[in-house]
Amino acid sequence: MQADPKGVLTGAHFLDGDQAACEGALAAGCRFVAGYPITPSTEVVERFAARIPLVGGVFIQMEDEIASSIAIQGAVWAGQKAMTVTSGPGLSLMMEHVGFAAMTETLCVFVDVQRAGPSTGLPTLPGQGDMMQVKWGSHGDYEPIALVPSSPQECFDLMIRAFNLAETFRAPVFFMMDEVVGHMTERVVIPGASAIEVAERRLTRKKPGEYRPFEANGDLVPDMVRSGEGYRIHVTGLTHDERGYRAMTAAAHGRLVERLSNKVRANRDRLVDVREDGVDGADVVVVSYGITSRVAARAVAEARERGVRAGHLRLVIAWPFPARRVREIAARAKAFVVPELNLGQMALEVERAAGGRAVVVPVPHAGGTVHEPAAILEKILEAKG
């Protein structure tokens, strides 16, 4: 389906990443945002609050992030596309509702503009320390999808993809920005509405009585309905059967939780998105994402100037992790260098995927600013051996 032109601000603009992310959400058809102010994410909701009266929809500033992260799920069951926007401390508060979204297959987008943590940390300065939290932060097993834009243009483009993926998989989708990407201003080109493909809600064609809300299709994803249309659905965070009724057995639990995970696991190859630069034939491959990838690109260029066969693999989607691709590369390259604004999170995934076939050298940084390219270069030179 083409985007609704009401939400599409066609043209070339100078926008920061937060504003571009908001425009991406509007273009994607998001008409409900619930949020609570927190630096460095607030500009996203401020823009939404300013734009929505002229587009048609609702912004509500809730009393906290716990409320925001469940209000959007109510809106989704009424048929809307919805998101909430936060940063580390708020994301921590939302975790129970990430699990609720996963368990009830309530498709919604959680935007996290990362700042340096833990706790209040450095509110106005960048971090990338929430990468593992979105993967493991809610109790129990679930498979999130997480996109990691590295520029304002990508904040726009990938936000549309985030909403489309949410509609497709009915899984929690995280939009993992960082303070620098959120606050840097660059040229953002927004195409015409007719050039923007947006996913529609997959509504059932069955009649009330025939429809079983948690009965999956061939792709493991059940069709949805909207509250108020006579289906008399029941939605619960308890383990449930295809009817949505609580089912308190280990067997029912296994069936449900495995299907929820398999929705994403079985589609890993379809979901994975990496951008490669000179990876084939490289001795050292830098794996990076978000703002760090822009610093890393410089380090890779400098390494090449010094004669190192260096490649760059940028994650556009961090979860699911491109394990198969990393494994392939590990069979030929000597080493991976993984700079991140945390003390080594995605580096663990690279290590797991490499499985000992190539050395993995993290370039940890607690956040607060970005890496010096020289710090990454140094590790590349070391790793080349």
Binding residues for other proteins, rule: CB under 8 A, are 6, 31-32, 34, 52-58, 60, 62-64, 66-68, 70-80, 82, 96-97, 100, 226-238, 243, 245-249
CB of 34 to other proteins, least distance (A): 6
CB 196 within 8 A of CB 238: no
How far, in Å, are 100, 169, 216, 336 from residue 94 at the CA level?
Answer: 10, 20, 27, 33
Distance CA 238, CA 216 (A): 18
How far, in Å, are 266, 294, 358 from residue 304 at the CA level?
Answer: 37, 16, 20
Nearer to other proteins, 63 or 281 (CB): 63
Angle at 148 between CA 311 and CA 298, to 5 degrees: 35
Phi and psi angles of residue 237, each rounded to the nearest 5 degrees, phi first: -80, -10
CB of 93 to other proteins, least distance (A): 11
Distance CA 182, CA 132 (A): 20
Buried b (16+ CB within 10 A) or exposed e, 253-278: eeebbebbbebbeebbeebbbbeebe
CB of 54 to other proteins, least distance (A): 6
CB of 55 to other proteins, least distance (A): 6
Nearer to other proteins, 32 or 336 (CB): 32
Nearer to other proteins, 118 or 208 (CB): 208
Nearer to other proteins, 75 or 383 (CB): 75
Nearer to other proteins, 59 or 289 (CB): 59
Nearer to other proteins, 58 or 359 (CB): 58
Of 198, 246, 205, 197, the closest CA to residue 224 belongs to 205
CB 131 within 8 A of CB 91: no
Three-class secondary structure of residue 31 per DSSP: strand
Nearer to other proteins, 63 or 385 (CB): 63
Nearer to other proteins, 75 or 337 (CB): 75
Nearer to other proteins, 49 or 122 (CB): 49
Nearer to other proteins, 187 or 232 (CB): 232
Phi and psi angles of residue 117, each rounded to the nearest 5 degrees, phi first: -120, -165
CB of 63 to other proteins, least distance (A): 4
Distance CA 313, CA 275 (A): 6
How far, in Å, are 37, 69, 174, 267 from residue 221 at the CA level?
Answer: 33, 22, 19, 11
CB of 198 to other proteins, least distance (A): 15
How far, in Å, are 131, 198, 297, 322 from residue 145 at the CA level?
Answer: 11, 17, 25, 12
CB 283 within 8 A of CB 274: no
CB of 89 to other proteins, least distance (A): 16
Angle at 260 between CA 254 and CA 265, to 5 degrees: 110
Indicate the DSSP class of residue 78: T
CB of 104 to other proteins, least distance (A): 9
CB of 53 to other proteins, least distance (A): 4
CB of 365 to other proteins, least distance (A): 35
